[in-house]
Structure 1
Amino acid sequence: MAERQRELTRTLLGAIFLGGLIVASLWILRPFVAAAIWATTIVVATWPVLLWFQARLWKRRWLAIAAMTAVLLLVFVVPLALAIGTVVLNADELLTWLKSMASFRMPTPPDWIARLPFIGSKLTLAWEQAAASGVEGLLSRAMPYAGRLTQWLASEAGNAGVLFMQFLLTLILTALMYASGEAAALVVLGFGRRLAGNRGENAVRLAGQAIRGVALGVVVTAVVQAALSGIGLGMAGIKFAGLLTAVVAFLCIAQIGPSPVLVPAVIWLYWSGETTWGTFLLVWSMVVVIMDNFLRPVLIKRGADLPLLLIFAGVVGGLLAFGLVGVFVGPVVLAVAYTLLRAWIDDDRLDP
């Protein structure tokens, strides 16, 4: 009896010590968790690309890592540089446009708006009120929100340095993981095997497939939609097309879509009397907006053979729960849970 009590005490103390050690380790590594998650996601999603570079760069891993780092810098820096460059090159025109807004007067609403079912009368009334109040009235209504927006921008500006350091840390961790990717994969597979046998190893492989599928489905679709949106905006003669293209890219990655940029652009063209270009951009925008319904499922299926509804719920739910990194964390968690649940149910069916 005494021996059993000593064994129970030893086991309990060992569990407490191990739990405390894990908590302390996570607390120490807390500043690096976000960067480590991003780096792991990038490495898993782009590992075939790294091997492609390595095969064509004399099988030198360090050359492939340098090439991948340059590509990642371009992917992250080019949209930001495009947006900043557009603002700088058109600073005088932007200032003139802002000054002209002070004397801007809204025209009367077109007759077809009043004929719209259900909402026509309300839209006409709102339009007439906005036209009567003018820019000054609209600004007075927006002033309470402008103060909140200014405070938010000030707080975000204070985080710009932290964001830049996180970006650099992510690049460094990504390069290190590229250098020892095979060894890290064996460690993770061994941990999964030790935890749950073959099912644990399969869960680890499934997590990698889910990350790759989401990267293909979400990121590639966002890049294609942003590029096509930029082409359409440029052909239609919309000002600051480069800046708007960068905005579309971020909106598509955040699963909002290009509509908040393309719809106002179409309305602006019709409002300015450019009916032909407005119709062109309207048709172009419809193609760009609905293409993700066809392109994203095909790309996700190439990366991971999982239900599309599961992936979509993981992307949206992860985004709301964890921010932008949740776009990848959410589908991985749901994919692993879904697979383990199916294996558990199948085991019950196989039992005599």
Structure 2
Amino acid sequence: MPKEKNTNDLLKLILNLLLIGLFIIITYRIVEPFLFGFFWAVMVVIATWPLMIKIQNKLFNKRWLSLLVMALILAFVCVIPFLLIISSVAQNGHYLIEWAKSLSHHELPTLDWLNSIPMFGEELHQKWLELIKTDGSDLISNVQPYIGTMIKWLIEQVTNLGIFIFHAGVMIIFSLLLFLKGESITKYVYVFANRLSKQYGETTVTLAGQSIRAVALGVVVTAITLALIGGLSFVLTNMPLAGLLTLVLFICCVAQIGPVVVMLGCIIWQFWSGHTASGIILIVVAVILTTLDSVMRAYLIKKGADLPFLLILFGVIGGLLGFGIMGLFIGPIVLALTYKIIQTWVDEQS
């Protein structure tokens, strides 16, 4: 009889585990489309909570007024720039089409300045002259097999842009909810962490919050600095649509695409238009921005979280490679938590 009872208990345990696992899988599938927006909202709320409190104190200590202001700020930073870019492309698309049609009526520049490049400049200039003589037919024949791949890539990027805007909207909704109940949610998180580990729970949550705030502020401050420097260079070199290019540069820096894509396009345009001096200036600025993008971001994150520089740098790079944009936060936070837990454990043993 005892053996039969044990068998029943084991079967009951297995069924309970299967049922719990089934509920977890179903729940995950339901909330999966909103997870990116939710985690993004958590990062935003932790990073901007002090700002929200300051706004609330200025607005007669009314939480709903501060929520309205924060909603406008988040929409202005995360959603409106993309809508402005799409609107601008739609309004000016016919100019691009006319410009493309007129290319066949213009002689391509000889780009004599290529000869001044050491080592491979003359060979590069000779290849360019041969390309002009054949009216680009050789280049077109070589590129033609990849046109379908390029079109597919463009369609994927448009789809990704739509998904990103959806996640941005979800992020704003969750951010407002977290702002509204921030104190009670924070208390619940600390209680939950304490139940998991009375020794390290609260310390781990505090460190995670500091790391998230440091990474978020490091990314935003770096993006603003790069956008200001890049925008100033656009104005000095008389780039058309300098304001829109500055906005695109800021978005690329926030999204961790980097300033290279925008700067490279502007450099090509300057040399194509025959403005060699302006192109050289933009090359110098591009090198400066690329260096600042790596060094400044890691420095600001280290300053905010008081963690080793290499730890943060590897966390940012590894997180981006492993998890995409969200890995920018996941990487440094996981490494920071691991580092602090191991450090505390070693200190206790000594």
TM-score range for the pair, normalised by the shorter chain length: 0.7 to 0.9
Counterpart for residue 74 of structure 2: 72
Change (3 A) 1:54 1:7: farther
How far apart in 1 are the matches of 2:333 and 2:281? 40
Matched, 1:49 2:51: yes
Q: Which whole-Å CA distance do the structure 2 matches of 1:83 and 1:274 have between them?
A: 26
Residues 27-73 of structure 1: CA deviation (Å, up to 9, x unaligned) = 33222211211111111111111111111111111111110110000
Closer/same/farther in 2, CA of residues 296 and 156 from structure 1, 3 Å limit: closer
Aligned mates of 1:194, 1:260 — CA distance in 2? 48
- Whole-Å Cα distance in 1 between the matches of residues 198 and 12 of structure 2? 23
1:282 Cα deviation from its structure 2 partner: 4.2
What's the CA shift for 1:257? 2.4
For the residues of structure 1 that align with 2:135 and 2:245, how far apart are their CA atoms? 26
Root mean square deviation of aligned Cα: 3.2
Q: Is the CA contact 1:314–1:331 (under 8 Å) kept in the aligned structure 2?
A: yes
Q: Structure 2-normalised TM-score?
A: 0.85
Which residue in 1 is equivalent to 2:348? 347
Q: How far apart in 2 are the matches of 1:86 and 1:193? A: 51
Could you tell me how far apart the structure 2 residues matched to 1:126 and 1:69 are?
Answer: 54
Distance in 1 between residues matched to 2:28 and 2:345, nearest whole Å? 30
What are the ranges of 5 or more consecutive residues in structure 1 without an aligned counterpart?
none
SS at the partner of 2:239?
coil
Q: Distance in 2 between matches of 1:187 and 1:7?
A: 37
CA distance, structure 2, for counterparts of residue 138 and residue 25 of structure 1: 52
SS of residue matched to 1:75 = helix
The CA deviation at 1:104 is 4.3
Greater alpha carbon shift after TM alignment, 325-334 vs 10-19: 10-19
- Between stretches 27-36 and 273-282, larger displacement belongs to 273-282
Q: Distance in 1 between the 2:292 and 2:160 partners? A: 35
**TM-score, normalization by structure 1:** 0.84
Given the alignment of the two structures, is residue 235 of structure 1 paired with residue 236 of structure 2, yes or no? yes
| Structure 2 residues without counterparts, runs of 5 or longer | none
| Matched residue, 1:199 | 200
Instruction: Identify the match of residue 32 of structure 1 among 25, 31, 34.
Output: 34
Separation of aligned partners in 1, 2:125 and 2:46: 52
Does the aligned pair in 2 maintain the 1:103–1:135 contact within 8 Å? no
Whichever residue aligns with residue 272 of structure 1, its letter is S
- Give, in angstroms, the shift of residue 207 of structure 1: 1.1
Would you say the 8 A contact 1:54–1:63 is kept in 2? yes
* Separation of aligned partners in 1, 2:281 and 2:115: 21
Q: Are the equivalent residues in 1 in contact too, given 2:78–2:168 (CA < 8 A)? A: no
How many residue pairs match? The answer is 348
1:310 maps to what in 2? 311
Bigger drift between 13-22 and 139-148 goes to 13-22
Residue in 2 that maps onto 1:151: 152
Structure 1 CA distance for aligned equivalents of residues 282 and 321 of structure 2: 31
Counterpart of 2:85 (choices 80, 83, 86) is 83
Asked if the contact 1:230–1:241 (Cα under 8 Å) also holds between the matched residues in 2, the reply is: yes
Alpha-carbon offset, residue 223 of structure 1: 2.5
Corresponding residue of 1:250: 251
Distance 1:115 1:227, change over 3 A: closer
The one-letter code sitting in structure 1 at the alignment partner of 2:230 is S
- In the other structure, the counterpart of 1:329 is 330
User: Does the 8 Å CA contact 1:230/1:242 hold for their aligned counterparts?
Assistant: yes
Corresponding letter in the other structure for 2:48: T
The 8 Å contact of residues 222 and 297 in structure 2, kept in 1 or not, is answered as yes
Question: Aligned with 1:323: secondary structure?
Answer: helix
Cα distance 1:96–1:24, how it changes in 2: closer, same or farther (>3 A)? closer
Spell out, residue by residue over 1:75-117, the C-alpha distance to the aligned partner (whole angstroms, 9 max, x if none): 0234224423543554454333222223444433536636513
Distance 1:160 1:271 in 2: 29
* Maintained 8 Å contact 1:254/1:319: no
Show the counterpart of 2:226: 225
After superposition, what is the alpha-carbon deviation per residue over 1:226-245, rounded to whole angstroms, capped at 9, x for unaligned?
Answer: 23212321331222334433
Measure, in 1, the Cα distance between the counterparts of 2:74 and 2:276: 40
Shift of 1:133: 3.4
